[in-house]
Structure 1
């Protein structure tokens, strides 16, 4: 079991950094979500460094055997580099690589940058929405003779796929687990978010006029409508 204290600390950190926001947000699926998470807003050195440490601690706590990291373009590039540095601070100095969106036709050429893909590779990204980035990463890693061994993300929304009216049985995260047979590990998930909001003394962003309990009620209703029944790492 992953460290619930770490997950709760991460939720609070994301709220403080205004990366995790509450209100009414329309998703790509056309659903009105009571919260929104945008890891791209970890855009300062200190916050990115702390985020990378959460990734590193979560990966080490998961007990997964791995040899290197891979960050899919574009958000995954910074996340993989930052996590590699954080792992080194924890005594695990490992290589990392990332890809370009378009192949380079001069210099070293190709789509890959960084260390050669080899051994057991952890894919690092912010979230899994449709699973497209993960599928591309898995294919790229396998094409280079390496083995994708896990996917590490910041937040698992634990939300079933489909649209606002037509809902699938599985979430994008569960589909990745089922399709590739590899674990998907998250720093925190929807259960952690709800637990934080229901915790006595939970603090929201300074500009958020609603109470944590009101936000918890909205998130719980959204989970009831779109949430997956169970999830495993």
Structure 2
């Protein structure tokens, strides 16, 4: 496992973003772990978060993109922090863009987008916190493609999330990221997966965070909901 991935797992714990216990998800599933990207609240936390995303994007997609698209609302600070970090780490100026929940009908920046206005010729990476079912992309994808004036004018290079939960999406045995890749034709990746988390904190860790009891709960959860 790359060093920055190990550091990111520690970072999530330090910021109390990744927790273990008993949590009811939006899907109704009862999960033994939970990730809340809304817990990154300080300047230093967001700066480090942007760097972790930048390293993962660079590893997975290289520099062949122009725009980071962060879906409202949590995607807005992610895209902003990552564009700053990418410039700092790799010397490449990329732009950030987000959608508005309600289209603005006045002023010089009216429209459906916030920040840079994507257009034909742009190469876009979508940045999100986490995806369990893959439903969010069903809203994001058409909003991006709606900015095209010619079919295929905007290329979506890929999607990056912070944590791949490695559980099956609805109506399939495959993970949300795998189903996104198959349906939309671009790679969907994560900074780390739950496999990485278990490896770092349990298999090769001190078992203080993921204890034997928590590991049993995780195993039972994946027996029922794990992607195949």
* Distance verdict in 2 for CA 1:8–1:212, change over 3 Å: farther
5+ residue gaps, structure 2, are 149-153
- In 2, distance between residues paired with 1:171 and 1:121? 22
Match of 1:112 in 2: 113
The answer to whether the 8 A contact 2:132-2:167 is kept is: no
| C-alpha contact (below 8 Å) 1:128/1:156 kept by paired residues | yes
Residue 179 of structure 2 corresponds to residue 179 of structure 1: no
Q: Does 1:124 align with 2:127?
A: yes
Distance 2:26 2:172 in 1: 15
Partner of 1:149: 157
CA deviation string 1:129-183 (max 9, x = no partner): 3323222222122121222111110001011134xxxx63222222211110111
Larger relative contact order (Cα-Cα within 8 Å, sequence gap ≥ 6): 1
2:11 maps to what in 1? Answer: 13
Superposition RMSD on alpha carbons, in Å? 1.7
- Work out whether 1:215 is the aligned partner of 2:218: no
Aligned residues: 217
Structure 1: tracts of 5 or more residues without a match: 205-210
User: Matched residue of 1:161: which SS?
Assistant: coil
Q: Could you list the per-position Cα deviations for residues 74-105 of structure 1 after superposition, in whole angstroms to 9, with x for gaps in the alignment?
A: 00011000000000101121111111100111
Tell me what 2:102 maps to: 102
Please give the alpha-carbon distance, in whole angstroms, between the structure 2 residues aligned to 1:216 and 1:197.
10
Counterpart for residue 207 of structure 1:
none
Question: Could you say which residue in structure 2 is the equivalent of 1:225?
Answer: 224
Normalised to the residue count of structure 1, the TM-score between the two structures is 0.86
**Residue 186 of structure 1: how far off its partner (Å):** 0.4
Q: 2:55 aligns with which of 46, 54, 57?
A: 57
Distance across 1 between alignment mates of 2:105 and 2:27: 37
Q: Which runs of structure 1 show a deviation greater than 4 angstroms over 4 or more consecutive aligned residues? A: none
Conservation of the 8 A alpha-carbon contact between 1:194 and 1:219: no
